[in-house]
Amino acid sequence: MLAYRITTEGAAPHLCRIDISEPGPTQIGVEIKACGLNFADLLTQKGTYQDIPQTPFTMGMELSGIVTTTGDSVNNLKPGDRVAVFSGQGGLAEFGVFEADRAIRIPDAMSFEDAAALQIAYVTSHMALDYRARMQPGETLLVTGAAGGVGLTAVEIGKLMGATVIAHARGRDKLEVARAAGADHLIDDSEDLRTRVKELGGADVVYDAVGGPAFKAAFRACNPEARLLPIGFASGEVPQIPANHLLVKNLTVIGYYIGGYMKFRPDLVRRSLAQLIDWYSNGLLSPHVSHILPLTDVAEGMELLRSRKSTGKVVIRTGD
């Protein structure tokens, strides 16, 4: 089969042909149909992601496809089932073997592309806002990088949860994408973020995918008892948090990494994904996929993320 792999530490990923593996007792074999790309894939290539598999490995953290085989201990899935798999690795290939507890059935009406796009970004935002920040209806949510892969899902989910959503992004085109996803207020990257947020009444929850100056400005625009979620650092700058300033407004900065939950509370991830699939089935959310590319064009898809030329998700179609 064809797979996009990092074969040795520090080497660039490349397409190569490898043998198809057989599943172990608790695993399933999947004919992969689509795989979502994430900013974390870029960090993995650079060797700076916080959770890099041992080489050699196939890249691709979230996928969808059809179950082909099951291990002897798997009784909740069967060959022919359409599934989404929160894989962590192995998605950028034509076939893969994954732990069954990382998979969930998807409705027949859900496309494989949408299923691949629904996982990391949407589960990250849903668990962040619901389980970690405990956001309540009527609160004000500020989302930085609001047109990106995770930012856009935070806008959409925040609106579904009853928040007033402030979207911060670079350029009118990206802000219009955020508006279409449900944002109530738009702030361009060229504007003074702190001043504009304060004019809108301040933020109760901050979902920051950018870091750097954007986080600092958002931090200073918080209301008392606000919660801040540093989700990612697309700016390349990890913010240093002045702990003494937390005391003044009784602020809370919440550490959160979705990959960690797959290791010690996978049930929370499956529960979140089930809720998202239910919302999808009822027409309450719709993944924004800006680009769908073939497996042979993975490098082009990664460049779309690196150059921030995509909005929402970039999805690689790995099968027919």
Greatest C-alpha distance within the chain: 60
User: Per 3-state DSSP, what percentage of the chain is helix, strand, and coil (rounded to 5)?
Assistant: 35, 25, 40
- Assigned domain for 268 exists: no
In a shared domain, residues 129 and 241: yes
- Domain termination residue (choose one: 257, 279, 308): 257
Tell me: pLDDT of 10 over 90.
no
In a shared domain, residues 137 and 249: yes
CA distances for 156 relative to 2, 39, 280, angstroms: 35, 19, 12
Query: Which residues span the domain enclosing 18?
Result: 2-118+287-317
d(C-alpha 57, C-alpha 105), whole Å: 25
> What pTM value is reported for the model?
0.85
Number of domains in the chain: 2
- Assigned domain for 271 exists: no
- Assigned domain for 279 exists: no
Q: Which residues contact 176 (CB under 8 A, 6 or more apart)?
A: none
3-state secondary structure 99-166: EHHHEEECCCCCCHHHHHHCCHHHHHHHHHHHHHCCCCCCCEEEEECCCCCCHHHHHHHHHHCCCEEE
d(C-alpha 155, C-alpha 150), whole Å: 9
In a shared domain, residues 139 and 105: no
Residue 233: its pLDDT value, please? 86
In a shared domain, residues 32 and 153: no
- Assigned domain for 277 exists: no
Question: Both tokens of residue 292?
Answer: 């769908």
- Assigned domain for 262 exists: no
Residue 31: its pLDDT value, please? 98
Residue 40: its pLDDT value, please? 85
Q: Which residues contact 309 (CB under 8 A, 6 or more apart)?
A: 303
pLDDT band at 302 (very low <50, low <70, confident <90, very high): very high
In a shared domain, residues 233 and 303: no
d(C-alpha 204, C-alpha 56), whole Å: 43
In a shared domain, residues 15 and 104: yes
Mean pLDDT, range 119-133, rounded to an integer: 95
In a shared domain, residues 132 and 100: no
Domain with 297 in it: what CATH number?
A: 3.90.180.10
Q: How does pLDDT run across 247-272, given as a tens digit for each residue?
A: 999 999 999 988 888 888 888 988 99
